[in-house]
């Protein structure tokens, strides 16, 4: 019995029928899509060496497996901090050497793919670029795993077809990331569509992770949504953590402190166990 998406998109490369047991994405010694829940954490943006190293050590100590941090930032206003660019990439690489944590960072422009791929272990495609097909083809060829965020107003079908661009260009190492979609309620930044995790896990063989930080936009609600995401079957999480959120140049209001993050990781271990997964701290 075919479900709705299979009926309109038979035989796609992302289809679950193709890799029944699920695709494993490997980056810097970490495997995403297996039994282990993979937590990627760190600041929204790389700001300086001390901030990045502090965040990296804190998230590593709490059990995160991958360090996140943006060097090229897609900001709503052109006057907001745009990221440190290559200088930020160099800091990410240095902090990876110090901590051993592989690094995920966003690439916004096809012309920057080679540069970013030189430093990053996982290339992140942000929500605003989910349907930038030139960029998708370019990242596919960079020889690195790609994390594809769901577009802010993208249907599940559009999201999966965007993943198909990367798969069709010969890169099987794709991670999907649900990060909330535009809703009508102004209290939260977005509406976290956790049902998409269950749907996408059924439809595809690709690992799916959840970014509760951008989904809710306020740090207070991040732990509840992170726990719910693991319960819903997510293969991992992408969480913003800043050593001092009130001083953050970007997304401080949704960033966890290292203390709150460590507390959350302890809770996630229990949720993971309850759904037959593991989370090693
Ligand atoms: C980010 O992860 O820093 C980011 C900009 O996320 P999104 O593309 O989901 O807004
Ligand atoms: Mn952010």
> CATH number for the domain including 140?
3.20.20.70
What predicted TM-score, i.e. pTM, was given to this entire model?
0.96
**Ligand 1, pocket-test mutation among 212, 214, 237, most atoms within 8 A of CB:** 214
Give me 177's structure tokens. 């990331």
**How many CB atoms neighbour CB 183 within 10 A?**
13
**Percent above pLDDT 90 for the chain:** 94
Query: Is residue 2, in this structure, part of any structural domain at all?
Result: no
Query: Is residue 56, in this structure, part of any structural domain at all?
Result: yes
Query: Is residue 9, in this structure, part of any structural domain at all?
Result: no
Q: Which residues pair with 27 in a beta bridge?
A: 30
> Which of the ligands is closest to the CA of residue 250?
2
| Separation of alpha carbons 122 and 102, rounded Å | 8
Query: Is residue 109, in this structure, part of any structural domain at all?
Result: yes
pLDDT band at 1 (very low <50, low <70, confident <90, very high): very low
Q: Which residues pair with 278 in a beta bridge?
A: 36
Tell me which residue has its CA closest to atom 4 in ligand 1: 126
**Ligand 1, pocket-test mutation among 43, 44, 71, most atoms within 8 A of CB:** 44
Query: Is residue 10, in this structure, part of any structural domain at all?
Result: no
Report whether pLDDT(266) > 90.
yes
The per-residue pLDDT for range 174-192, each reduced to its tens digit, is 999 999 999 999 999 999 9
pLDDT given at position 9: 66
Q: Return the axis-axis angle of helices 49-62 and 86-99, rounded to nearest 10°.
A: 40
Report whether pLDDT(51) > 50.
yes
Determine the structural domain holding residue 195 and report its residue range.
Answer: 21-273
Query: Is residue 165, in this structure, part of any structural domain at all?
Result: yes
Report whether pLDDT(2) > 60.
no
Query: Is residue 8, in this structure, part of any structural domain at all?
Result: no
Query: Is residue 4, in this structure, part of any structural domain at all?
Result: no
pLDDT given at position 4: 58
Mean residue pLDDT across the chain: 96
pLDDT given at position 97: 98
Q: Which residues pair with 41 in a beta bridge?
A: 67, 239
The per-residue pLDDT for range 238-259, each reduced to its tens digit, is 999 999 999 999 999 999 999 9
pLDDT given at position 108: 98
| Separation of alpha carbons 60 and 41, rounded Å | 9
**What total number of domains does the chain contain?**
1
Tell me which residue has its CA closest to atom 6 in ligand 1: 126
The per-residue pLDDT for range 197-230, each reduced to its tens digit, is 999 999 999 999 999 999 999 999 999 999 999 9
**How many CB atoms neighbour CB 19 within 10 A?**
16
């Amino acid at each position: 019995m075919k479900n709705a998406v299979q009926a309109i998109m038979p035989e796609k490369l992302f289809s679950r029928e193709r890799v029944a047991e699920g695709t494993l994405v490997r980056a810097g010694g970490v495997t995403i899509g297996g039994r282990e829940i993979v937590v990627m954490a760190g600041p929204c943006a790389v700001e300086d060496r001390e901030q990045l190293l502090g965040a990296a050590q804190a998230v590593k100590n709490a059990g995160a497996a991958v360090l996140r941090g943006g060097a090229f930032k897609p900001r709503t206003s052109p006057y907001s901090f745009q990221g440190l660019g290559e200088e930020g990439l160099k800091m990410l690489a240095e902090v990876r050497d110090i901590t051993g944590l592989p690094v995920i960072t966003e690439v916004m422009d096809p012309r920057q793919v080679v540069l970013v791929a030189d430093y990053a272990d996982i290339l992140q495609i942000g929500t605003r670029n989910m349907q930038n097909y030139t960029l998708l083809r370019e990242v596919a060829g960079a020889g690195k795993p790609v994390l594809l965020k769901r577009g802010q107003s993208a249907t599940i079908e559009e999201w999966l077809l965007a993943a198909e661009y990367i798969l069709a260009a010969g890169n099987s190492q794709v991670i999907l990331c649900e990060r909330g979609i535009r809703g009508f309620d102004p209290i939260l930044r977005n509406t976290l569509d956790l049902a998409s995790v269950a749907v996408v896990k059924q439809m595809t063989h690709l690992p799916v992770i959840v970014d509760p930080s951008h989904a809710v936009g306020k740090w207070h609600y991040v732990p509840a949504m992170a726990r719910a995401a693991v319960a819903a079957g997510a293969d991992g999480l992408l969480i913003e953590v800043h050593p001092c959120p009130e001083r953050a140049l970007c997304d401080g209001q949704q960033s966890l402190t290292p203390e709150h993050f460590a507390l959350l990781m302890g809770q996630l271990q229990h949720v993971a166990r309850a759904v037959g997964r593991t989370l090693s701290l």
